[in-house]
């Protein structure tokens, strides 16, 4: 289920404004890759181009290619709906559907494909996904209650359960812990560690400790100034980035001199 992502010379534009310029990197399967960098450097924007969610923002477009196991996401005839089914996403703020119960939330993605699902099969999937998200024990007695009744950390894990229920190839996480308290954050980080065994995970984070704790490889993005495009400065193993970076800007950032 886990796949390799190759990005070749990718530019992202908002209308005429170039937000990200010339990104080339490869994400290995069954690994966690962290994107770090100061605010506004385009790391979240870039993350969204990996499942074409940037197209939700009016005027956003992309130049370049993103290959997932050799298939270009921006090739002719590619259906963004199909891309997003294979590349799941978890957002900054937990966003379970407020009108659905916990169970319905988990099944939301699967139901879209009109697959006629036996109740037992659906039950299995709900349990498997919630267990995969370390949430099963906390909610198994109240599956029919609304998802918005859970705590922030539980909601975020519910969103992860919802994302993995459709068995995606890749899981993108856009600052998944920034709205959570430290204990919930720890729970999510443990979960990421487990999910790594099955999925390719890309995570954007503002928290450098978090990047160093959970990721195998780290990409540092930076921006030269307001109005300039964000660029990929350095991409290497996490230990190297945090202990022995090759670029001065990376060292300044990870050592807390700016950002």
Closest CA to 154 of 119, 88, 206, 105: 105
Residue 87 C-beta: closest distance to other proteins, Å: 9
Which residues, listed in sequence order, are joined to residue 160 by a DSSP beta bridge? Answer: none
Cβ contacts of 12 within 8 Å, gap of 6 or more? 18, 19, 20, 42, 45, 46, 49, 54, 60, 61, 62, 63
Residue 158 C-beta: closest distance to other proteins, Å: 11
* Identity of the residue, 93 or 213, whose beta carbon is nearer to other proteins in the bound complex: 93
Contact, 122 vs 173, CB < 8 A?
no
* Identity of the residue, 149 or 259, whose beta carbon is nearer to other proteins in the bound complex: 149
Residue 231 C-beta: closest distance to other proteins, Å: 21
Residue 94 C-beta: closest distance to other proteins, Å: 9
Provide the 3-class DSSP secondary structure of residue 27: strand
* Identity of the residue, 63 or 190, whose beta carbon is nearer to other proteins in the bound complex: 63
* Identity of the residue, 90 or 254, whose beta carbon is nearer to other proteins in the bound complex: 90
* Identity of the residue, 67 or 249, whose beta carbon is nearer to other proteins in the bound complex: 67
Residue 135 C-beta: closest distance to other proteins, Å: 16
* Identity of the residue, 73 or 139, whose beta carbon is nearer to other proteins in the bound complex: 73
Cβ contacts of 214 within 8 Å, gap of 6 or more? 32, 34, 189, 192, 193, 203
Residues that bind other proteins (CB under 8 A): 51-53, 55-56, 58-65, 67-86, 88-89, 91, 93, 95-99, 108-109, 112-114, 148, 159, 162-163, 166
Residue 121 C-beta: closest distance to other proteins, Å: 19
Cβ contacts of 209 within 8 Å, gap of 6 or more? none
Q: How far apart are CA 233 and CA 247, in angstroms?
A: 8
Provide the 3-class DSSP secondary structure of residue 74: coil
């Amino acid at each position: 289920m886990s796949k390799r992502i190759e990005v070749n010379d990718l530019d992202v534009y908002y209308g005429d404004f170039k937000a990200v310029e010339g990104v080339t990197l490869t994400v290995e399967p069954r690994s966690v890759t962290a994107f770090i960098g100061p605010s506004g450097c385009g790391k979240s924007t870039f993350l969204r181009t990996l499942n074409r969610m940037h197209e939700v923002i009016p005027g956003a477009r992309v130049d370049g290619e993103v290959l997932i196991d050799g298939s270009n996401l921006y090739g002719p005839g590619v259906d963004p709906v199909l891309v997003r089914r294979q590349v799941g996403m978890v957002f900054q703020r937990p966003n379970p559907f407020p009108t659905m119960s916990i169970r319905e939330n988990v099944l939301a993605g699967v139901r879209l494909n009109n697959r006629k699902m036996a109740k037992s099969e659906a039950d299995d999937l709900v349990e498997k996904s919630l267990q995969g998200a370390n949430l099963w024990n906390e909610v198994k007695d109240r599956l029919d209650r609304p998802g918005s009744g859970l705590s922030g950390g539980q909601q975020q894990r519910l969103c992860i359960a919802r994302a993995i229920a459709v068995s995606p190839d890749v899981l993108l996480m856009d600052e998944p812990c920034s709205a959570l308290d430290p204990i919930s954050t720890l729970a999510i980080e443990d979960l990421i560690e487990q999910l790594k065994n099955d999925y390719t995970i890309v995570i954007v984070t503002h928290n450098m400790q978090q990047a160093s704790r959970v990721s195998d490889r780290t990409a540092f993005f930076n921006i030269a100034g307001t109005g300039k495009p964000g660029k990929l400065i350095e991409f290497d193993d996490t230990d190297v980035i945090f202990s022995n970076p090759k670029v001065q800007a990376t060292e300044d950032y990870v050592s807390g001199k700016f950002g």
